[in-house]
Structure 1
């Protein structure tokens, strides 16, 4: 049964990590002592919700956490360091620190080690997040004990809402481009200057013109989307950025 350890000190363990083909022991004191750390823990590397939602959103929001006093954001899973390192690379999540809890010692100390033998996982972590200040747990968000893999309260947005209720959230921006397009370069540069992170989709690698027509009703690029809204091409983007009230 998952346990809430709010107000308690985190377990003292050593994470066995691998860096540049060498073993490096990382203690909890190194990670947490004198720091404010956001931790989120999940059932396993390369699993669906963890890969598609949990890690990517935390990685996207690291600068926002740091703007509100967080020194580091860490992901913990009962997996070995080789798996965790490959997972971090595959997800392109360099801003999150991946901590391998291969033996489940940290997770057990947190009261979050659960039996997932029915899935062939053995002992794994329940999904949760927490805010830790100088090794003391200030707040925990623990997923409800229901069937399946609940993902309701341990997300990055819930944590940021706790830290800074009125803080702006990062915009979700996607740019449809094609190689050699000068207007695409212009649009991307404008977004960078505005401090807006974005995903780029390249023609004939990530999408076809059929997809562009289907989602944007257009044949030309770039096509910029912000929070589900079609902004348009580079001139449309320039006008939208100029008119923004949250700049």
Structure 2
């Protein structure tokens, strides 16, 4: 039986020591080091590399990290009952620089939260149930626990739900994608224009096997760069500068 949010809110987080490897060196990280004097979001999930965790849960928290920071969050911690090597490799593969990955290798934190569950039917052993929480100075303010049902429910621990709790009127920038080519001055100009506005973007480079045929297929153009904002084609560097001059890319409330 999982705990209820009411039984956890207002309580301190479990006091444990994590065996982590930041910068590929062993280091003990205490609960106080993670939470004391800070406002921290924690989202915990069944395991690194698993489908929902890799495709939805982690990427959206990473994407919305700047918005969370603007709303008073100091750090976002991803936690799983995996060892430090697995968590570090997963972080590299996910390109999630905005997230602190914390290995709960022995399940001590998850057990202290009442979230350690038996996944031996999947060959996983003991793992964390999926949940998220907002922690202020080591005290749990709000918890979102996925419902106890078969499978891997992902209904309430997502980044948007957490952002709505923190600030229901927060504006979420539309995602920006730049198709670029190494050494292209116009591509550099487009990315500089986005950087000057403080807008994060995903750079899809020709070096990632994106050739002119692919560029034409997705944008209808064969010149580099091509910029998309919120799924809409903006165009090349000149078009992007005109778009930005007319106002920032559209933002939408946390949905």
- If the length of structure 2 is used for normalisation, what is the TM-score? 0.90
How far 1:203 moved relative to its partner?
2.2
Alignment check: 8 A CA contact 1:171 1:196 kept? no
The farther-off stretch of 12-21 and 36-45 is 12-21
2-structure distance, mates of 1:228, 1:164: 25
- Look up the match of 2:44: 41
The farther-off stretch of 208-217 and 224-233 is 208-217
2-structure distance, mates of 1:200, 1:24: 33
Q: Structure 1, residues 186-219: CA drift from partner, whole Å, max 9, x if none?
A: 1111111111111111225242323222221222
* 3-state secondary structure, aligned to 2:85: helix
How far 1:105 moved relative to its partner?
1.0
2-structure distance, mates of 1:246, 1:174: 12
Alignment check: 8 A CA contact 2:182 2:207 kept? no
- Look up the match of 1:101: 104
The farther-off stretch of 121-130 and 29-38 is 29-38
- If the length of structure 1 is used for normalisation, what is the TM-score? 0.93
Q: Which runs of 5+ in 2 are unaligned?
A: 251-255
- Look up the match of 1:2: 2
- Look up the match of 1:235: 238
After superposition, where does 1:134-213 map in structure 2 within 5 Å? 134-203=137-206, 205-213=208-216
Alignment check: 8 A CA contact 2:42 2:132 kept? yes
2-structure distance, mates of 1:234, 1:132: 42
Q: Measured at CA, do residues 16 and 74 of structure 1 come closer, stay the same or move farther in structure 2, by a change above 3 Å?
A: same
Q: Structure 1, residues 53-91: CA drift from partner, whole Å, max 9, x if none?
A: 222222222222122111211111001111112222222
Say what the alpha-carbon RMSD is for the aligned residues.
1.8
- Look up the match of 2:26: 23
- Look up the match of 2:253: none
How far 1:27 moved relative to its partner?
1.3
Alignment check: 8 A CA contact 1:40 1:154 kept? yes
The farther-off stretch of 32-41 and 48-57 is 48-57
Q: Which runs of 5+ in 1 are unaligned?
A: none
- Look up the match of 1:51: 54
- Look up the match of 2:119: 116
Q: Structure 1, residues 25-78: CA drift from partner, whole Å, max 9, x if none?
A: 111122112221110001101112212222222222222212211121111100
**Correspondence 1:220 to 2:218:** no
1-structure distance, mates of 2:43, 2:90: 15
2-structure distance, mates of 1:184, 1:246: 18
* 3-state secondary structure, aligned to 2:97: coil
* 3-state secondary structure, aligned to 1:221: coil
Q: Measured at CA, do residues 123 and 215 of structure 1 come closer, stay the same or move farther in structure 2, by a change above 3 Å?
A: same
Aligned length: 247
